[in-house]
Structure 1
Protein backbone atom coordinates (compact mmCIF):
# COMPACT_ATOMS: atom_id res chain seq x y z
CA UNK A 1 0.00 0.00 0.00
CA UNK A 2 2.85 2.38 0.77
CA UNK A 3 4.46 1.82 -2.63
CA UNK A 4 1.10 2.39 -4.29
CA UNK A 5 0.60 5.61 -2.32
CA UNK A 6 4.01 6.90 -3.35
CA UNK A 7 3.40 6.02 -6.99
CA UNK A 8 -0.10 7.56 -7.14
CA UNK A 9 0.14 10.78 -5.16
CA UNK A 10 -2.56 13.37 -5.75
CA UNK A 11 -3.22 16.96 -4.75
CA UNK A 12 -0.78 18.52 -2.31
CA UNK A 13 0.90 15.15 -1.83
CA UNK A 14 2.22 15.51 -5.40
CA UNK A 15 4.39 18.50 -4.49
CA UNK A 16 7.89 17.38 -5.27
CA UNK A 17 8.96 13.96 -6.41
CA UNK A 18 8.99 11.09 -3.88
CA UNK A 19 12.78 11.26 -3.75
CA UNK A 20 12.60 15.01 -2.97
CA UNK A 21 10.85 14.56 0.37
CA UNK A 22 11.50 12.17 3.26
CA UNK A 23 7.82 12.24 4.28
CA UNK A 24 5.35 9.50 3.39
CA UNK A 25 2.55 12.04 3.93
CA UNK A 26 3.95 15.42 2.91
CA UNK A 27 2.01 18.46 4.07
CA UNK A 28 0.98 21.56 2.19
CA UNK A 29 4.15 23.36 3.27
CA UNK A 30 7.33 22.23 1.55
CA UNK A 31 9.58 20.18 3.80
CA UNK A 32 6.87 19.49 6.38
CA UNK A 33 4.81 16.35 6.97
CA UNK A 34 1.03 16.24 7.07
CA UNK A 35 -0.16 16.97 10.63
CA UNK A 36 -1.43 14.13 12.79
CA UNK A 37 -4.81 15.82 13.14
CA UNK A 38 -5.27 15.87 9.37
CA UNK A 39 -4.09 12.27 9.03
CA UNK A 40 -6.62 11.34 11.72
CA UNK A 41 -9.41 13.04 9.76
CA UNK A 42 -8.46 11.17 6.61
CA UNK A 43 -8.33 7.84 8.44
CA UNK A 44 -11.78 8.46 9.95
CA UNK A 45 -13.18 9.04 6.47
CA UNK A 46 -12.15 5.53 5.44
CA UNK A 47 -13.35 3.88 8.64
CA UNK A 48 -10.11 3.64 10.64
CA UNK A 49 -10.29 4.86 14.24
CA UNK A 50 -6.68 5.60 15.28
CA UNK A 51 -7.35 6.27 18.98
CA UNK A 52 -9.43 3.14 19.39
CA UNK A 53 -6.90 1.02 17.48
CA UNK A 54 -4.02 2.51 19.50
CA UNK A 55 -5.76 1.66 22.76
CA UNK A 56 -6.40 -1.89 21.59
CA UNK A 57 -2.74 -2.29 20.65
CA UNK A 58 -1.55 -0.89 23.99
CA UNK A 59 -3.84 -3.15 26.01
CA UNK A 60 -2.73 -6.16 23.97
CA UNK A 61 0.92 -5.31 24.65
CA UNK A 62 0.12 -4.83 28.33
CA UNK A 63 -1.17 -8.39 28.54
CA UNK A 64 1.95 -9.74 26.83
CA UNK A 65 4.75 -7.71 28.44
CA UNK A 66 5.72 -6.85 32.01
CA UNK A 67 5.05 -3.21 32.90
CA UNK A 68 8.79 -2.40 33.22
CA UNK A 69 9.53 -3.60 29.70
CA UNK A 70 6.41 -1.94 28.31
CA UNK A 71 7.36 1.39 29.92
CA UNK A 72 10.94 1.23 28.66
CA UNK A 73 9.96 0.13 25.15
CA UNK A 74 7.26 2.77 24.65
CA UNK A 75 8.94 5.53 26.63
CA UNK A 76 6.09 5.93 29.11
CA UNK A 77 6.25 6.25 32.89
CA UNK A 78 6.23 2.96 34.77
CA UNK A 79 3.04 4.00 36.62
CA UNK A 80 1.24 4.40 33.29
CA UNK A 81 2.44 1.00 32.13
CA UNK A 82 1.28 -0.58 35.40
CA UNK A 83 -2.15 1.04 34.96
CA UNK A 84 -2.42 -0.36 31.42
CA UNK A 85 -1.38 -3.76 32.68
CA UNK A 86 -3.93 -3.75 35.49
CA UNK A 87 -6.69 -2.52 33.18
CA UNK A 88 -5.89 -5.22 30.63
CA UNK A 89 -5.90 -7.99 33.22
CA UNK A 90 -2.25 -8.88 32.68
CA UNK A 91 -0.64 -10.67 35.63
CA UNK A 92 3.13 -10.51 35.72
CA UNK A 93 3.73 -11.47 39.34
CA UNK A 94 5.39 -14.73 38.28
CA UNK A 95 7.26 -13.33 35.26
CA UNK A 96 10.72 -13.16 36.87
CA UNK A 97 10.40 -16.71 38.20
CA UNK A 98 9.34 -17.97 34.78
CA UNK A 99 12.24 -16.25 33.03
CA UNK A 100 14.74 -17.57 35.56
CA UNK A 101 13.64 -21.17 34.94
CA UNK A 102 13.50 -21.01 31.13
CA UNK A 103 17.09 -22.16 30.72
CA UNK A 104 16.52 -25.06 33.10
CA UNK A 105 13.46 -26.27 31.15
CA UNK A 106 15.60 -26.86 28.06
CA UNK A 107 17.83 -29.45 29.76
Structure 2
Protein backbone atom coordinates (compact mmCIF):
# COMPACT_ATOMS: atom_id res chain seq x y z
CA UNK A 1 0.00 0.00 0.00
CA UNK A 2 1.61 3.24 -1.19
CA UNK A 3 0.04 5.39 1.53
CA UNK A 4 1.55 3.21 4.25
CA UNK A 5 5.00 3.41 2.68
CA UNK A 6 4.70 7.18 2.42
CA UNK A 7 3.68 7.50 6.07
CA UNK A 8 6.64 5.41 7.17
CA UNK A 9 9.19 7.44 5.20
CA UNK A 10 7.89 11.00 4.74
CA UNK A 11 9.87 13.02 7.27
CA UNK A 12 8.08 16.20 6.12
CA UNK A 13 4.69 15.02 7.45
CA UNK A 14 4.08 15.61 11.16
CA UNK A 15 5.02 12.53 13.21
CA UNK A 16 1.67 12.51 15.02
CA UNK A 17 -0.20 12.26 11.71
CA UNK A 18 2.14 9.60 10.40
CA UNK A 19 1.55 7.44 13.50
CA UNK A 20 -2.24 7.96 13.48
CA UNK A 21 -2.38 7.20 9.75
CA UNK A 22 -0.33 4.03 10.14
CA UNK A 23 -2.66 2.78 12.88
CA UNK A 24 -5.66 3.45 10.63
CA UNK A 25 -4.07 1.67 7.67
CA UNK A 26 -2.59 -1.32 9.50
CA UNK A 27 -5.21 -2.01 12.12
CA UNK A 28 -8.38 -0.55 10.51
CA UNK A 29 -9.22 1.33 13.68
CA UNK A 30 -11.60 4.30 13.76
CA UNK A 31 -10.14 7.61 14.90
CA UNK A 32 -12.58 7.59 17.82
CA UNK A 33 -10.73 4.50 19.10
CA UNK A 34 -7.24 5.70 18.13
CA UNK A 35 -7.49 8.92 20.14
CA UNK A 36 -8.40 6.87 23.22
CA UNK A 37 -5.06 5.03 23.14
CA UNK A 38 -2.52 5.84 25.82
CA UNK A 39 1.21 5.35 25.86
CA UNK A 40 0.47 2.41 28.18
CA UNK A 41 -1.22 0.68 25.23
CA UNK A 42 2.16 0.46 23.51
CA UNK A 43 3.92 -2.55 25.02
CA UNK A 44 7.62 -2.68 24.20
CA UNK A 45 9.85 -5.44 25.56
CA UNK A 46 13.20 -6.08 23.89
CA UNK A 47 12.60 -6.78 20.21
CA UNK A 48 8.83 -7.12 20.59
CA UNK A 49 6.35 -4.28 20.39
CA UNK A 50 2.61 -4.75 20.75
CA UNK A 51 -0.28 -2.31 20.45
CA UNK A 52 -3.18 -2.98 22.80
CA UNK A 53 -6.23 -2.25 20.69
CA UNK A 54 -8.04 -5.09 22.45
CA UNK A 55 -6.96 -8.38 24.04
CA UNK A 56 -4.69 -9.91 22.98
CA UNK A 57 -2.51 -6.99 21.92
CA UNK A 58 -1.52 -6.82 18.25
CA UNK A 59 2.08 -7.14 17.06
CA UNK A 60 3.67 -4.03 15.60
CA UNK A 61 5.99 -4.54 12.59
CA UNK A 62 9.59 -3.30 12.97
CA UNK A 63 9.35 -0.19 10.72
CA UNK A 64 6.20 0.90 12.55
CA UNK A 65 7.83 0.21 15.93
CA UNK A 66 10.64 2.63 15.14
CA UNK A 67 8.16 5.35 14.13
CA UNK A 68 5.88 4.73 17.11
CA UNK A 69 8.67 4.78 19.70
CA UNK A 70 10.22 7.92 18.20
CA UNK A 71 6.81 9.60 18.35
CA UNK A 72 6.21 8.59 21.98
CA UNK A 73 9.59 10.05 22.93
CA UNK A 74 8.61 13.43 21.40
CA UNK A 75 4.79 13.76 21.37
CA UNK A 76 3.05 16.99 20.38
CA UNK A 77 1.24 19.19 22.91
CA UNK A 78 3.44 18.05 25.79
CA UNK A 79 5.23 21.33 26.55
CA UNK A 80 2.33 23.17 28.11
CA UNK A 81 1.87 23.03 31.86
CA UNK A 82 -1.51 21.34 31.39
CA UNK A 83 -0.21 18.35 29.38
CA UNK A 84 3.25 17.54 30.70
CA UNK A 85 2.13 14.32 32.40
CA UNK A 86 -0.45 13.26 29.80
CA UNK A 87 -0.66 9.51 29.12
CA UNK A 88 -2.69 9.98 25.90
CA UNK A 89 -0.90 8.72 22.81
CA UNK A 90 -2.45 11.67 21.00
CA UNK A 91 -2.83 14.37 23.65
CA UNK A 92 -5.22 17.17 22.88
CA UNK A 93 -4.86 20.87 23.44
CA UNK A 94 -7.11 20.79 26.49
CA UNK A 95 -5.72 19.48 29.77
CA UNK A 96 -6.46 15.83 30.43
CA UNK A 97 -8.16 15.29 27.07
CA UNK A 98 -7.04 13.37 24.00
CA UNK A 99 -7.00 14.87 20.52
CA UNK A 100 -10.42 15.26 18.92
CA UNK A 101 -11.13 12.61 16.25
CA UNK A 102 -12.68 15.14 13.86
CA UNK A 103 -9.63 17.40 14.12
CA UNK A 104 -7.26 14.46 13.57
CA UNK A 105 -9.35 13.34 10.59
CA UNK A 106 -9.13 16.80 9.00
CA UNK A 107 -5.36 16.86 9.49
CA UNK A 108 -4.97 13.37 8.00
CA UNK A 109 -7.01 14.42 4.98
CA UNK A 110 -4.64 17.35 4.42
CA UNK A 111 -1.73 14.92 4.04
CA UNK A 112 -3.69 12.66 1.70
CA UNK A 113 -5.05 10.07 4.15
CA UNK A 114 -8.87 10.19 4.21
CA UNK A 115 -9.34 8.21 7.44
CA UNK A 116 -12.72 6.61 6.75
CA UNK A 117 -11.79 5.46 3.24
CA UNK A 118 -8.35 4.29 4.42
CA UNK A 119 -9.93 2.30 7.23
CA UNK A 120 -12.36 0.62 4.85
CA UNK A 121 -9.56 -0.24 2.45
CA UNK A 122 -7.52 -1.69 5.30
CA UNK A 123 -10.37 -3.97 6.40
CA UNK A 124 -10.97 -5.14 2.84
CA UNK A 125 -7.28 -5.89 2.34
CA UNK A 126 -7.15 -7.91 5.55
CA UNK A 127 -10.22 -9.87 4.44
CA UNK A 128 -8.40 -10.89 1.27
CA UNK A 129 -5.60 -12.34 3.38
CA UNK A 130 -7.41 -13.81 6.40
CA UNK A 131 -10.75 -15.42 7.23
CA UNK A 132 -13.49 -12.98 8.23
CA UNK A 133 -13.82 -14.31 11.82
CA UNK A 134 -10.08 -13.89 12.36
CA UNK A 135 -10.17 -10.31 11.07
CA UNK A 136 -13.26 -9.55 13.17
CA UNK A 137 -11.56 -10.78 16.33
CA UNK A 138 -8.28 -9.00 15.58
CA UNK A 139 -9.74 -5.55 14.91
CA UNK A 140 -12.81 -5.61 17.11
CA UNK A 141 -15.49 -5.88 14.44
CA UNK A 142 -18.55 -8.09 14.66
CA UNK A 143 -18.02 -11.26 12.61
CA UNK A 144 -21.25 -10.61 10.70
CA UNK A 145 -19.82 -7.28 9.54
CA UNK A 146 -16.60 -8.79 8.27
CA UNK A 147 -18.49 -11.67 6.64
CA UNK A 148 -20.72 -9.15 4.83
CA UNK A 149 -17.70 -7.14 3.68
CA UNK A 150 -16.05 -10.34 2.50
CA UNK A 151 -19.10 -11.30 0.43
CA UNK A 152 -19.30 -7.79 -1.04
CA UNK A 153 -15.69 -8.08 -2.17
CA UNK A 154 -16.05 -11.59 -3.59
CA UNK A 155 -13.79 -13.13 -0.95
CA UNK A 156 -12.95 -16.81 -0.89
CA UNK A 157 -13.01 -17.69 2.82
CA UNK A 158 -16.61 -18.90 2.85
CA UNK A 159 -15.64 -22.44 3.81
CA UNK A 160 -13.54 -21.45 6.81
CA UNK A 161 -14.70 -23.26 9.94
CA UNK A 162 -15.11 -20.92 12.88
CA UNK A 163 -14.06 -22.21 16.28
CA UNK A 164 -11.10 -23.39 18.32
CA UNK A 165 -8.61 -24.97 15.92
CA UNK A 166 -5.98 -25.62 18.58
CA UNK A 167 -7.69 -28.77 19.86
CA UNK A 168 -8.08 -32.06 18.05
CA UNK A 169 -11.51 -33.62 17.64
CA UNK A 170 -12.30 -36.14 20.42
CA UNK A 171 -12.35 -39.11 18.06
CA UNK A 172 -9.16 -38.19 16.25
CA UNK A 173 -5.91 -39.95 17.09
CA UNK A 174 -2.57 -39.71 15.34
CA UNK A 175 -1.60 -42.57 13.03
CA UNK A 176 1.21 -44.41 14.85
CA UNK A 177 2.50 -45.79 11.55
CA UNK A 178 2.79 -42.41 9.79
CA UNK A 179 6.22 -40.91 9.28
CA UNK A 180 6.27 -37.62 11.22
Same fold by TM-score, threshold 0.5 exceeded?
Answer: yes
Quote the Cα distance in structure 1 between the aligned partners of 2:117 and 2:123: 10
Q: Is the 8 A contact 2:82 2:94 kept in 1?
A: no
More contact order relative to length (CA 8 Å, sep ≥ 6) = 2
- The equivalent position to 2:142 in structure 1, one of 71, 74, 77, is 77
Gaps of 5+ in 2: 1-14, 16-67, 166-179
Matched residue, 1:7: 74
Residue deviations 1:28-53 (CA, integer Å, cap 9, x gap): 22111111111011111222211111
Aligned pairs (5 A) from 1:85-104: 85-96=150-161
Structure 1 gap ranges (5+): 100-106
> Structure 1 18/31 Cα, relative in aligned 2: closer, same or farther at 3 Å?
closer
1:74 Cα deviation from its structure 2 partner = 2.2
How many residue pairs match? The answer is 97
Structure with the higher fraction of residues in helix conformation: 1
**Residue aligning to 2:112:** 47
CA RMSD of aligned residues (A): 2.9
Q: Judge conservation of contact 2:136–2:146 (CA < 8 Å) in 1.
A: yes
Of Structure 1 and Structure 2, the greater strand share is in: 2
Q: TM-score, normalised by structure 1?
A: 0.69
